[in-house]
Structure formats: C-alpha cells, structure tokens
Amino acid sequence: MMDKRRSAKITAAEINELQELELRLLQPGVRADRQQVALLAEEFFEIGASGKVYDRQGAAEALALADGGSVSLSDFLARALEPDLVLVTYRSFWRGPGDAQAQALRSSLWRRTETGWMLLFHQGTPAGSTVQAEHPTSGSSDAKAEITPIGVIHSPLADRETAPRHGSEGGAEAWLEVYPEYADGLGGIVSGSEVILLTWLHRSCRDVLKVHPRRNREAPLTGVFATRSPDRPNPLGLHRVKVLSIKGSSLKVAPLEAIDGTPVADIKPVLDNDSNM
C-alpha cells in the first residue's frame, strides 16, 4: 500500500523521469502505441492549441495522425503540489520536414502511482520563436533575453545521469546539426578547427542556486556560479571541441559531454593571442 505520509517533494531522478516521459509522449504517433497509451489515466483530458478538448481516446487518435519531425524541450520545471501530484511546465520546440517548425508552452499534471507515473492533464499553447522563457531583470520590467537554437546535438550519450561531467572525462564523438537557415554562418570552419559550443542544457533544473560540486554529497554546498553544474538559473553549456569532419551543414566534433537532443545556441572559434576575429 502506498505511504500516504510521504512529503510533497520530488527528487532530481523523478524530474528526469518525467522529462523523459513528456518527450516520449510528444513524439508523433506515439500515443497510438498500446504501451504508451497506458501512461494516460482513464480520466485524462487535453486542451489542444485550437481550444478543443480531447479525452484519452481522442488524444491518442489525433496524435497518431501527426506529421513526423523531432522535438526538444527546454525550461523544464516540476513542482510537487501534493505528495503524489506533480505539475510540470516547459517549452517544446518542434522541427518538421523542410523549414517547418513550431514552439509551445506546455503544462501537465502527473500522478505518482504504485505502478509508475500516470498523466492526468496536458495543455499546449503556441509560443513565439524563442526557446528560452523571458525573465525581467532587476529594476526593469521590459528587459528580456531570447535564445533561438541554431542547431541540435546528435550524440550516443542519451542519459544525463551517466554522461561525463566534462568532455575531457570521456566525452563522445557527436554530430552538431546546424539548421539550414544558419548554414551560411559556418563559412571559415574547417576540419581540424577548434570551436566553442554554447548549448542550452535542456534537462537541467533552473531553480537551483547551491549544489554539492560534482554531485559529491561530502563536498560543502557551493553557489552554482562558482561551479560548472548544469543546474542553474540559465543553463548554458560551454564546450571546447575539435571539428573532426564536416558533412553539409553538420559538424562531427569531439570530445563532447552534451547529451543527445541538446539545443545549440552558438558556435565560436577558439582564438589565439594573435587573432583579430
């Protein structure tokens, strides 16, 4: 029997699990699969972008007809409302055939059960062209920061928990796919170049200000700005890599610790002291 005395908290592992489930359910056609439909509670309902309300069966039928493409997430937050009820919010970024793309602000309610997580409710609202939520800066209600991905990482590293902390500690060879509209920006990059990738660490927690460095519980809590923790208010990743080969608008790079599906915000050259670039 489930322990009703459990406090209304959610662990980092559970947050990662919920993020994986959300990403899985956003893949076109996946809810037509019996195993995935089992994640939807009997009372599940969804409010689509058009305002139409779907029940469990209707949502499965509608998404089974969706076009293909790839989906990534950012700004993922999870809040325990009750001991076994969790609200998640995030932004999704979809890229389809050709130049088709769309973004949405999404929210879901998940219930923790004895057999696993069950999705109770989902809503998606069309969003603008940026993947980062806008946050006013202190003293100004108008200031905002916007980041639009220029590409995405395709890597054999799929799990944040098992990925190396730094590229030098077992980083993989990975492909950086630069989206076609930004391909002209690659002029001047050649095989053998060293570049710095700025990524958006899309599976990070953004409400963390202190961490145990390198997840060592014996180390004292330290402010995130004095660490390289991926969990931080604005989870930007910084990676120095070498370009191994180039194919079209994709770069094969190494060593890279970023996991598969990580959005790329920018590419910058590694400069020597004599460079004026």
Q: How do residues 87-134 score in pLDDT, each as one tens digit?
A: 999 888 877 766 667 788 899 999 999 889 999 999 988 765 444 444
Residue 61 is predicted with a pLDDT of 66
- pLDDT tens readout for residues 24-66: 888 765 545 555 667 888 899 888 766 778 888 777 666 555 5
Q: Is residue 142 pLDDT above 70, yes or no?
A: no
Q: Is residue 136 pLDDT above 50, yes or no?
A: no
Selected from 3.10.450.50, 3.30.200.20, 3.40.50.10800, 3.40.50.300, the CATH number assigned to the domain covering 12-126 reads 3.10.450.50
What does each C-alpha distance from 215 to 20, 75, 170, 218 come to in angstroms? 21, 21, 17, 9
* Mean pLDDT, rounded, for 61-83: 74
Residue 36 is predicted with a pLDDT of 62
Residue 137 is predicted with a pLDDT of 41
b/e 208-235 (16+ beta carbons within 10 angstroms → b): eeebeeeeeeeeeeeebeebebbbbeeb
Q: Phi and psi dihedrals of 265, rounded to 5?
A: -90, -35
Give the residue with greater pLDDT, 137 vs 108: 108
- Amino acid identity of residue 142, one-letter, is D
Select from 4, 35, 12, 7 the least CA-distant residue to 206.
Answer: 12
Task: State how far the Cα of 197 lies from the Cα of 195, in Å rounded to an integer.
Answer: 6
Q: Where are the domains of the chain?
A: 12-126, 151-269
- pLDDT tens readout for residues 161-209: 788 888 888 899 999 999 988 999 999 999 999 999 999 998 888 888 9
Percent helix, percent strand, percent coil in the chain, to nearest 5: 15, 40, 45
In this structure, are residues 59 and 47 in contact, taking their beta carbons and an 8 Å threshold? no
Q: Is residue 256 pLDDT above 80, yes or no?
A: yes
Selected from 2.40.30.70, 3.40.630.10, 2.60.120.10, 3.30.1490.20, the CATH number assigned to the domain covering 151-269 reads 2.40.30.70
